[in-house]
Amino acid sequence: MTKEDFQFRHDNQSDLSDLDAFEQRLRSVKPAPPQTAWDDLPLSHEQQKASTVANPGTAPAHWPRIATHAAATLIGVGIGVICMLMLRPAVAMLPPNESAPQQVAVEQQLPDAAPKYTPVRPPIRRREFQASWPLTPLARDIEFRPWRRTPRNIRPVLFEESTSTSEADQLDKPMSAHELMRELLNSQANLPSSHNQNFSNSL
Amino acid sequence: MNETLKRLYELHAPALLLYARIWCRYPEDALQEALIELARQRKLPPDPVAWLYQAVRFRAINLNRSEQRRSRREQEVAFTRAAFFVSKPQQAFDSADLQQALQSLPQEQREIVVARIWGKLTFEQIAKLNGHSSSTVHRRYREALEELKQKLDGIPCEEVSND
């Protein structure tokens, strides 16, 4: 043992003995006792057992918290599902990408030695256009106000059933307002003179 | 079981309270919860004292989290009023000075000192509590003692040994 080793050990020993003494002095100071004695503990395990036995059907105190968490989770999942369902038709209405390269089965000519095989890929399933939702007039192919496409001067005019001498096929035939007026004037011109007199008086 | 618990409480409650004070302002709650947990065990653990220290540590850390939600002022009042040690006229240290010196230590060193000196746990048991090796615990314990000695006696250990 060298002199340094001896000195180191001696220093450590004195250090340890000094710390041991200090430790003993610390131990002599007692920590503060609890304010409640064992018999006066507010909720001892016996009381807790008694309360559990007295109310065997009651749920533990933390159950409402668990129930709240479960309800919040369910509501969140429900909202997520509804959002997904609402977004689904919008995605489905996107026009199919025609420019995408079509994948076609290619049959390769292989040498006889190699095993022949045909790489066939499953066909790409494209979602067909479905007009079930949303129910817009365009999607349902309902033509609102079809007369708008007809010019004003050739719009059909409906007639009431009359006892005039005009031919039935002429009445059914749609005519414009100018033609109708012309026909009326012609029919007036063909009537007898007394009738014309009454007509002019009524005007 | 009940008698064992009562004896454990009477023997170790002061040290356990001091141990719980490291983390929370209301150590009696932590101790009470740990005792209830021990009473729920079907079989007494092989080392009930070490088990209690572990349980008190866990409860005190949990209580500390919930205490953080309370008002800070309320916590300060509760903390300054609580006395860590019994005050007697002729004792080695003034209890208030010791409390102040203990509070000035880092939390890890404070835990080791309390568990070793007042809890009378072995270094292996303390190492299991805080998850370090027993040599690390021993080294930190010595550092903490030296720091405490310097604060309470005013003389560092090196100077004492040189004398």
The encoded tokens of residue A173 equal 């035939």
Least confident of A5-19, A65-79, B112-126: A5-19
Mean pLDDT taken over chain B = 82
The encoded tokens of residue B108 equal 């890890």
Neighbours of A178 (CB within 10 A): 9
The string of pLDDT tens digits covering residues A41-77 is: 765 555 555 444 444 445 556 677 888 999 999 999 9
pTM of this structure: 0.48
Query: What are the start and end residues of each CATH 1.10.10.10 domain in chain B?
Result: 95-151
B71 lies within 8 A of chain A by CB: no
Closest CA to A166 of A149, A153, A180, A178: A180
Preceding amide of A134 cis, omega within 30: yes
Look up residue B30 and give its amino acid. Answer: A
Would you say B112 and B137 are in contact if contact means Cβ atoms under 8 Å apart? yes
Query: A-B interface: how many C-beta pairs under 8 angstroms?
Result: 86
Using a CB-CB distance cutoff of 8 angstroms, which residues of chain B are in contact with residue A28? 91-92
For B85, the 3-state DSSP assignment is strand
**Alpha-carbon torsion A123, A126, A128, A129, what sign?**
negative
Q: For A19-28, what is the mean pLDDT?
A: 86
A44 by Cβ neighbours in 10 Å (0-12 / 13-18 / 19+) ranks as buried
Best of A10, A22, A52 to mutate (most B CBs within 10 Å, chain B): A22
pLDDT for res A73: 95
B113 by Cβ neighbours in 10 Å (0-12 / 13-18 / 19+) ranks as buried
Least confident of A34-48, A49-63, A82-96, B10-24: A49-63
**Topology of B95-151 in CATH?**
Arc Repressor Mutant, subunit A (1.10.10)
The string of pLDDT tens digits covering residues A100-152 is: 555 555 555 555 555 556 656 666 655 555 555 555 555 555 556 666 666 66
User: What's the ipTM?
Assistant: 0.75
pLDDT for res A60: 56
Contact A22 B149 (CB under 8 A): yes
pLDDT for res A82: 92
- Percentage with pLDDT > 70 across chain B: 86
Residue with tokens 């000195």: A7
The string of pLDDT tens digits covering residues B22-78 is: 888 888 888 888 888 888 888 888 888 999 999 999 988 888 887 776 656 665 565
pLDDT for res B53: 92
pLDDT for res B88: 77
Out of A15, A23, A25, closest to residue B93 by CB: A25
Mean pLDDT taken over chain A = 66
Eight-state DSSP code of residue A149: G
Residue positions counted in chain B: 163
How much is the CA Rg of chain B, to the nearest whole Å? 17
